[in-house]
Amino acid sequence: MRNLSRRAFLAAGTAFAGLLALPAWADMTYHSPNLEAAVQAGDLPPVAERLPENPLVITPRDQPGTQGGTWNHALVGGGSLSMLVRYQGYEPTVRFTPDWSGVTPNVAESFEVNEDSTEYTFTLRKGMKWSDGEPYTTEDVKFWYEDVFQNPELTIGDQAFWYSADGSVAELDVVDDQTFKVKFAQPNGFFAQQLAWAQQDQITRTPKHYLKQFHIKYNPDANALAKERGYESWVALFQRECGVQQDNDFFQNSNRPTLNAWKFTIAPGEDTERAVAVRNPYYWKVDTEGTQLPYFDEINYQMVGDPEVLLLKTLQGEIDMMDQYIATPANKPVLYDAQESGDFHFYTLKETAANVMVFQLNLNHTDPVKNALYNNRDFRVALSHAIDRQSMIEAVFVGQGAPAQPSIVEGDPLYVERLAKQYTEYDPEKANAILDEILPNKDSEGFRLDSEGRRVTIIFEIDQVRTTFLDMFQLAIPNFRDVGIDAQIRTMDRSLWETRVRHGREFDATAHQFGANSGVAAMLDPRYFVPFNTNALYAQGWALHFNQPDNDAAIEPPEEVKAQQALYKKLLATGDQDKQHEIMLEILNNAADQFLVFGVSLPPDGYGVVKNDMVNTMPVMPNSFGWPTPGPSAPEQFFKN
């Protein structure tokens, strides 16, 4: 991400998504031929009546397209559906620009920020509609704010902290049907960027007219309705229907209206072989020639069991665009050789993750002995010295990379060398010396014993589709065992991993990646430097304490971690770029002191494959979930020649 001033960041991007108004919509707007029969039969209004007064004008990246056709895609396994955010679920109030240099209006027609970042004013598009034709107005915003966000019975997860400043929740001021203000008692310098971050803008995902039937405030019989559908109470049914807390719930619902370009007719989970999303006839964007977007009539997702099946389908030319799960260094030669037969080519992913893989011991373990051991910083240092990072880099990443902890990329103004390089030396002798002080006793096989006389066994629970993780663990497991730690790996389907790791406390350890390695992105996603949301897999209880300290499941962190969390709140409260930089550097230096997790290497640039007939895709993109690749590149303007 480029390093821009706050005002430049907020203003950037108007060249990518037009604020210009096109005249005479009724005379120059075109829709897909497959909607014509419904219009002629009177089942669907003419396209000019389906669009808002001021549609968002998208300038096609290469050329205006033609409507129709199918985008052939795939979903791996039956677990997390967060991949769908990347392809058809990124429609926040304001969105990141394609080059990640700023945020620009999206669902909102415009927005303004006052000088001290305490008041944000948003203007919605007059006449904008949900996919079922019902109006999208500030009533939907108010519904989310009052009946979801502020309802104590509903779980709101991490949303509270970016709608707060200095511990005080923002006030919503609805001015009229199109205009609302979000007012903070103290500055909130990152609010617009937080709304643009993937999955963090719920006000565009909660249609009041649909969801109120499940809410006890609007339907006195909501509990009875929930019991009819097999739920204990209206709360459980509402959260399932609303879906804003879980990717799976959000996308496994073909009934809920959406603002997205495509809407599921066969949602994931409703069919074992495929999921199908068709064009939203009320989608509120057009191209520069007046053609209603999206170009594709539908997206067809094949449901595949594992990455090997996905790789085979890609080699055979069955997948139009893909990078997740298959675009590994090991697969690159195979994919390169198959470009002609598979009729595809490569695109480049500029890696933004803080590390290729981060080892995360569960610092909130329910076992008190394991919890105490894992919270011993020296124990984590010893494990870090025990692993041969260079061998992993050579074997898994074809020599691309250098040993590094989760950190900021060198050359960025936030780079801290100590954070990046400490304890990265492969030194089993030093690891053993440290462990001898902590765990001096061993069993007959040479494995160390804990304070209860049990063998020190660490089971790393891993999402099975992360093939590069599995490859790295083939080397890491023997490294750990060489210093007397009985390390093991347990692979599982993503859905089980989500339950056991992201939402559990009984696992020993896991490994993951992402986070961010530069600039504003690192400030928005410092998961390895401060436990602030559910992505801090190593300390879910501490992260919950950051957002909901009164929650029964929250765990009060040690004083130094609480201080780090307070510092992060201070960072979020300022809109001054120089001050942001100063605070973030303090956070990063503290993270080096605390050393909560350890990694392998900063990632080399990645790649993906795209079919040769796909038009308007970006040849180079950031690779991130916050900038949900390729979401901000506007998939609604992709088409096939």
pLDDT digit string, tens, across residues 132-180: 999 999 999 999 999 999 998 986 655 666 888 877 899 999 999 999 9
- Cα distance between the two ends of the chain: 32
* pLDDT at 23 (0 to 100): 44
Q: What does R_g of the chain's alpha carbons equal in angstroms?
A: 25
Mean pLDDT along residues 8-17 = 44
pLDDT band at 21 (very low <50, low <70, confident <90, very high): very low
Q: Over 90: is that where the pLDDT of 250 sits?
A: no
Question: Lowest-confidence range among 164-168, 402-406, 448-452?
Answer: 164-168
pLDDT band at 5 (very low <50, low <70, confident <90, very high): very low
* pLDDT at 596 (0 to 100): 98
pLDDT band at 12 (very low <50, low <70, confident <90, very high): very low
**Which residues have CB under 8 Å from 134's CB, separation 6+?**
207, 209, 210, 257
pLDDT band at 418 (very low <50, low <70, confident <90, very high): very high
* pLDDT at 80 (0 to 100): 58
Asked if 226 and 237 count as a contact pair (C-beta separation under 8 A), the reply is yes
For the chain, give the mean pLDDT: 91
pLDDT digit string, tens, across residues 65-110: 999 999 999 998 755 577 899 999 999 999 999 999 899 999 999 9
SS3 156: coil
Q: Over 90: is that where the pLDDT of 346 sits?
A: yes
* pLDDT at 465 (0 to 100): 84
Question: Lowest-confidence range among 29-33, 325-329, 462-466?
Answer: 29-33
Q: What tokens were used for 176?
A: 């009229």
* pLDDT at 24 (0 to 100): 47
pLDDT band at 15 (very low <50, low <70, confident <90, very high): very low
pLDDT digit string, tens, across residues 26-77: 455 567 888 999 999 999 999 999 999 999 999 999 999 999 999 999 998 7
Alpha carbon distance 15, 57 (integer Å): 11
**Which residues have CB under 8 Å from 343's CB, separation 6+?**
317, 611, 612, 613
Q: List phi, psi (to 5°) of 628.
A: -70, 85
Q: List phi, psi (to 5°) of 549.
A: -60, -20
Q: Which residue has the higher pLDDT, 553 or 247?
A: 553
* pLDDT at 305 (0 to 100): 85
* pLDDT at 2 (0 to 100): 35
* pLDDT at 612 (0 to 100): 98
- The secondary structure element, H or E, covering residue 509 is strand 509-512
Query: Across the chain, which distance is largest between two alpha carbons, in Å?
Result: 84
Alpha carbon distance 464, 459 (integer Å): 14
Asked if 129 and 138 count as a contact pair (C-beta separation under 8 A), the reply is no
Domain chopping of the chain, boundaries: 357-600
Q: What tokens were used for 145?
A: 């704010």
- Please state which of the four CATH numbers 3.40.630.40, 3.40.630.10, 1.10.10.60, 3.10.105.10 is assigned to the domain occupying 357-600: 3.10.105.10
Q: Which residue has the higher pLDDT, 101 or 363?
A: 363
* pLDDT at 3 (0 to 100): 38
pTM value? 0.83
Strand order of the sheet with strand 17-18? 17-18, 56-58, 285-287
- The secondary structure element, H or E, covering residue 584 is helix 577-594
Q: Over 90: is that where the pLDDT of 382 sits?
A: yes
Distances (CA, A) of 564 to 147, 324, 545, 554: 32, 33, 13, 17
* pLDDT at 160 (0 to 100): 62
Percent of the chain at pLDDT above 90?
A: 80
